[in-house]
Structure formats: C-alpha cells, structure tokens
Structure 1
Amino acid sequence: MKPLIPFTKTPLTNTLQVHGEVTPLSDSRLLVEFIITGSTDAIKWPESSNLERREDGLWKHTCLEVFLGNGAAPESPYLEINCAPNGHWNAYSFSKYREGMAPATDTRVRLQPRNSEDAEARFQIEIDSRKPLEFTCLGLTAVIEFVDGTLSYWSLFHPGPQADFHNKAGWTALSTH
C-alpha cells in the first residue's frame, strides 16, 4: 500500500494515516483499496445509505478518489473516480488538465461494505468499465472532513503551492500491462 500525505499537516491530520492501492482485476476492472488508521472517530463520515448512486460534489466532504491518466502530459486525457464512504460515487472523463469534463457513462463504481474497527477503516472500491482501462499514470487521493468541519487533502505527492489532485505531477507512473 502506498502512503498518502496531507497537503497541510495539522493536529488532526497528525492523528491519521491513509494508504491506498490499485489492483487490476482485468483490462476493464480495477480494485482500489484505502485504509485509514488512527483517530477515525475524528472523521465526519457521510450518512449511511442503502442505495449507491451517482452524485456530484462528493469531494466537498469525506471522499476517496482515484485518477487514471493515459499519458503524463497535462494535455492528455484522464478519468476521475470519486467514492464516498457511504457508496455514493461518480466518474468523470477529462480531455486534458481540468478541461472537457463529462460523465464517464461507460464506468461504474461499487463500494464493498466498509469494514471499520476502533482505529481503522478499510474500503474496497470496484471500478468496472465497458471498455479497457488503459492508463500509464495514477493518482490516489482522499478528502477527509473532520467533525469540526475542516477539510484535509491527501495525495501520493503534492507538487504545487495548492492542493490540486488533477495535477499529474502528483501522480505516479504505472501501467496496467
């Protein structure tokens, strides 16, 4: 598992550790795993839901994310997946850095039941596409909202002066083949 680091270290972020990993299941399916350990009771979790559904704006609260890029250049396309810990999700395709955003209608996301213990929360997110998921770079990110309302932004690497999950300089080179 790869460690994610907070953009800004605070007393609250110092109480957590966040790790993520992507495992290809086939050319069109991925399993993304996140583990959050530490003071998980300080996290504001979304309300439970019996119905998983597409929803916009998930990144405004606690949300687990993965970015899949086909090329590391800013002008190359990429896919953004958002999944809230209650199973609400969305998938967007971008034609290049923060442009051409459109719903990725050929992609579905399913959260396996959240497994929580006192100081650990585990999430498995299955990404299923009707076409091959070809990518050469990967961004694993998380937005964590604390019970006091503050937001923290976690990523493999933060390359700029502001938290920017779309910046491929903060992703890692990877291949599904």
Structure 2
Amino acid sequence: METRFIGFDHEWVRVRWKILGAARLVVPPFAGKGRDDGLWNTTCFELFLQTPGDKAYVELNLSPSERWNAYDFEGRREGMAERPMPREPECTMRKGTDMAIFDAAIPAAGLPARPWRCGITAVLEEEGGIKSLWALSHANPAAPDFHDPACFTFEVAAPSVA
C-alpha cells in the first residue's frame, strides 16, 4: 500500500491511498454519506492527527461506502468522543483489476490547527475474510495498534506566515 498526503488549503485536507494487488479487495457497497461506527470491520482508511507534545489526538475513519466518522481522544485509546465536523468528508474509490485508489478530502475547519504528527493507516479486507492492517509504521508488528503514538510518523508543518 502506498499513501500520499496530497495537500491542504484553507478548506480541505487531501489524502490518497493506493493499493496494489487489489484484485481480491473487498469494497464495502455504497451506503450514502453519513456517520457510522465500526467502519474498521472491513476495508476502511484512517487518518490520525496529533499536535506534537500533546497526548490528545483525532481519528478519522473513511469508508469506500462513503460512510465516515471522526473521534477525539484525550490520550491513547482514552476519552473517546465524537468530533464535530462542519461538513462531511468527500471520498471516492476507484478499483481496477489489480489496483485501487481511495481519495479523501476532509474539511480543514473540522481539524485541529497544524502542526501535526500523522498516522496514515488502512484496514484492508480481502475475499474470504482475510484482513491486513497497514500503517506508515507499526511500533509492534506482531500486535499492530494504530492508536500507538509511535505510528504517528508523518509530520505536517504549521502554516507559514507571509
């Protein structure tokens, strides 16, 4: 899996996940926009954002079904609450015979101020119920935990002042 932090402006943060060898990838059927829990039980793309030096972080779950959710955590898997968002993320999935692309545009106004330490992750389900957990880094590959701050390895700088 390849991920790319495409960029951001004052309205949107854009992230792309590219999956090679996706012939057997299970893509959840279209369910319409809206919040939903448990999206990680099948193919789901996730983004974790943490301000450096802070224990708190944000988790976004984005599904090819167009369902999504956003959560605030006070610390590692502690104090979870649904995060308000000013509007829904925009998500699209394209799947060919052996490659899939998932693009997400997340409303910037619903996210904490930069700088961020990011975890960019995915749960991929294949036919037969085979699931794999993908991240830029796993602190413990034998027991992957996307909520481990050691997985938040991608850094996004604060905006520059002109």
TM-score by length of 1: 0.79
Residues 27 and 134 in structure 1, CA contact (< 8 A), matched pair in contact too: no
What runs of 5+ residues in structure 1 fail to find an aligned partner?
1-17
1:9-37 residue CA offsets vs partner (Å, 9 max, x unmatched): xxxxxxxxx11112332245200101111
Aligned to 1:95: 74
- What's the Cα RMSD here? 1.8
Matched AA of 1:32: V
Q: What is the DSSP-based 3-state SS (H/G/I as helix, E as strand, rest coil) of the residue aligned with 1:21?
A: strand
Residues 29 and 133 in structure 1, CA contact (< 8 A), matched pair in contact too: no
Equivalent residues in 2 for 1:126-141 (5 A)? 126-130=105-109, 133-141=113-121
Residues 68 and 135 in structure 1, CA contact (< 8 A), matched pair in contact too: no
Equivalent residues in 2 for 1:6-155 (5 A)? 18-27=1-10, 29-38=12-21, 40-49=22-31, 51-71=32-52, 76-106=55-85, 108-111=88-91, 113-130=92-109, 133-155=113-135
- Number of residue pairs the alignment of both structures matches: 155
TM-score by length of 2: 0.86
Q: What is the DSSP-based 3-state SS (H/G/I as helix, E as strand, rest coil) of the residue aligned with 1:157?
A: coil
Residues 55 and 74 in structure 2, CA contact (< 8 A), matched pair in contact too: yes
- In the TM superposition, residue 64 of structure 1 has moved relative to its aligned partner by 0.6
1:100-133 residue CA offsets vs partner (Å, 9 max, x unmatched): 111111353220x322221111111011043554
The runs of at least 4 consecutive aligned structure 1 residues that moved more than 4 Å come to none
Q: Percent of aligned pairs with the same residue?
A: 30
What runs of 5+ residues in structure 2 fail to find an aligned partner?
none
Q: Quick one: structure 1 residues 140 and 90, their matched pair in 2 at CA, closer, same or farther if it must change by over 3 Å? A: same
